[in-house]
Amino acid sequence: MKIIKTANKIASELLNKKKIGFIPTMGCLHEGHVSLIRKSKKKKLLTVVSIFVNPLQFNNKKDFKKYPKTILNDLKICKKNKVDYVYLPQKKEIYPEKKIIIKNKIHFFKKYMEGKFRAGHFEGVIEVMKRLLKHVKTNYLFLGKKDYQQLIIIKKYLESINSKIIVVPCDTIRDKNGTALSSRNKLLDQKSLNIAGRIINFLKSNKNKIIKSKNNLLYLNKIIEFGAKKIDYLTAFNLEQLKKTNKPSVNTRVFLAYYLNGVRLIDNF
């Protein structure tokens, strides 16, 4: 496994390499990330993991500062899973300019879920992806459904520039208690994780009722009763039509964002 810290070096290492699989991450790796790595390895791709906490996608400075960092353990996990390259850039490799001007305008999703509650988040996501993909010229890009809106936005961006990169959507890996694995879970104690598990299991078992209900109040109250402090949204969304819905279908998922002990968690099912 090679650890590469500069854009030039990773680009030159990958030059002329054919079957590359890329897994961009913000580190604090867990089994969710590992499932993406395994998919890439299973396809026999030269597997590149990047670890970079992108300041541009945080709409809250405090949130950025407290984002968990476990780099030594991350490298261990990568090595154990036979990652070929870890790209570990510092901020100046990704954003060498003094003043970063983001030109991406993301119109769809602006009104919905993460787009609505985290101003500038997706613009920051696209900006970092653009730059990472310039450094890591990949054939395949592995993205988790855990961040479903992000997955769709990146896919649409790649389509819009006629990119040949193949996006591989990966299922959400969950803890035994039902919570989606997330780096942010590191910021929670066991009691809070148990609450998160109860919330998600309750919601999952009421999925169709939530989708059909015109007014989510009953479910929002229940989430608060379980111990959540604040809820940003609980929304049924059709992924094909890209709009809210009250009709259950294969394309309809429920999206959720809420706060537990000061930590913001998102999930969809």
Q: Does 33 engage in binding with ligand AMP (CB under 6 A)?
A: yes
Per-residue contact track with ligand AMP, 35 to 54, x per CB under 6 A?
xx------------------
Report CA dihedral (28, 32, 38, 39) to the nearest 10 degrees: -130
Q: For residue 138, how many C-alpha atoms fall within 13 Å in the half-sphere facing its CB?
A: 29
Judged by CB under 6 A, the stretch of 25-33, 199-207, 223-231, 252-260 that binds ligand AMP is 25-33
Respond yes or no: is residue 121 known to be catalytic: no
Judged by beta carbon, residue 146 or residue 198, the one nearer ligand AMP is 146
Q: Does 170 engage in binding with ligand AMP (CB under 6 A)?
A: yes
Phi and psi at 179, nearest 5°, equal -70, 145
Judged by beta carbon, residue 156 or residue 222, the one nearer ligand AMP is 156
Q: Does 144 engage in binding with ligand AMP (CB under 6 A)?
A: yes
The helix (run of H) or strand (run of E) holding residue 141 is strand 140-144
Residue that the structure tokens 């819009």 belong to: 160
User: β-strands 230-238, 243-244: how paired?
Assistant: antiparallel
CA atoms of 119 and 264, how far apart (whole Å):
15
**Amino acid identity for residue 50 in this structure:** S
Q: Does 147 engage in binding with ligand AMP (CB under 6 A)?
A: yes
How many residues belong to the site for ligand AMP (CB under 6 A)?
17
Q: Of residues 30, 33, 121, 135, which has the active-site annotation? A: 33
Closest CA to 146 of 256, 246, 49: 256
Q: Does 172 engage in binding with ligand AMP (CB under 6 A)?
A: yes
Residues lying near ligand AMP in the complex (CB under 6 A): 25-26, 32-33, 35-36, 143-144, 146-147, 170, 172-173, 180-183
